[in-house]
Amino acid sequence: MIFKRSKGGWFLLVLGLCLYVLPGFSLAATTDPPSELVKVQVIHSLDAYPQGGTYLLALKLTIAPGYHLNSNRPKAPEELPTWVRFYPPQGIKLSAPVFPAPQDYKSPISGEASNGFGGSILLRTSLSVAPDISAGPHRIKVALGYQGCTGLACLLPEEKTFVFAIKVAPAGKPGQGLNPEIFEKK
């Protein structure tokens, strides 16, 4: 008999089985995550933003099928929130993005009810352009933090950074409206 009926023997048997079986299970739940879990598209309301005004802008996040991101305000304290930070040049300001209402999910970490985003979502923000900023192109850096999950497991947290450009127009020269289906009030 390899293990005697003692607490230590049973403990070692159970520990050995867990170390043998669980890694395969957890890897099976997360094998082959998508090469790009989240795709980001900047959606402009104008082709050029005149000096001295405030305008609408949106980020479209498309989450890979079978995955969801934790909410920006997750219910479970152990879940990492989704966040966005803007790093604009001097003379341009962006408001904190407004997230849509999250969907309910079962947390793969705690097994309890949680919330998050799946499919495609729009994050809305406003862009303020100072009256004295130079006309022409300006670059804005964005950082997006998130943790992708399936119904079985969560991936490691990720941070994606990217840069997009806006064109600033002289004051009084209105830009051409874009994407009315997103920005016009119904």
Domain count across the chain: 1
Residue 53 lies in a domain: yes
Residue 6 lies in a domain: no
pLDDT at 23: 39
pLDDT at 186: 62
The one-letter amino acid code at 126 reads S
* Residue that is written with structure tokens 């002289």 in the block: 170
Residue 82 lies in a domain: yes
Please tell me the distance from the alpha carbon of residue 186 to that of residue 181, in angstroms, as a whole number.
9
- Model pTM? 0.80
Q: What is the sign, positive or negative, of the torsion defined by CA atoms of 88, 93, 94, 95? A: positive
Residue-number span of the structural domain to which 61 is assigned = 33-179
Please tell me the distance from the alpha carbon of residue 147 to that of residue 165, in angstroms, as a whole number.
26
Residue 140 lies in a domain: yes
Please tell me the distance from the alpha carbon of residue 140 to that of residue 130, in angstroms, as a whole number.
15
Annotate 21-78 with DSSP letters as a single string. Answer: HHHHHHHHHHSS--S-SEEEEEEESBSSEETT-EEEEEEEEEEPTT-EEEPSS-SSTT
CATH at 77: 2.60.40.1250
Residue 111 lies in a domain: yes
Residue 1 lies in a domain: no
pLDDT at 16: 42
Residue 166 lies in a domain: yes
Tokens representing 11 are 């403990």
Please tell me the distance from the alpha carbon of residue 3 to that of residue 63, in angstroms, as a whole number.
49
Tens place of pLDDT for every residue, the chain, 186 residues? Answer: 444 444 544 444 444 434 333 333 333 344 577 889 999 999 999 999 999 999 999 999 999 999 999 999 998 888 899 999 999 999 999 999 999 999 998 776 677 888 999 999 999 999 999 999 999 999 999 999 999 998 888 899 999 999 999 999 999 998 999 999 999 876
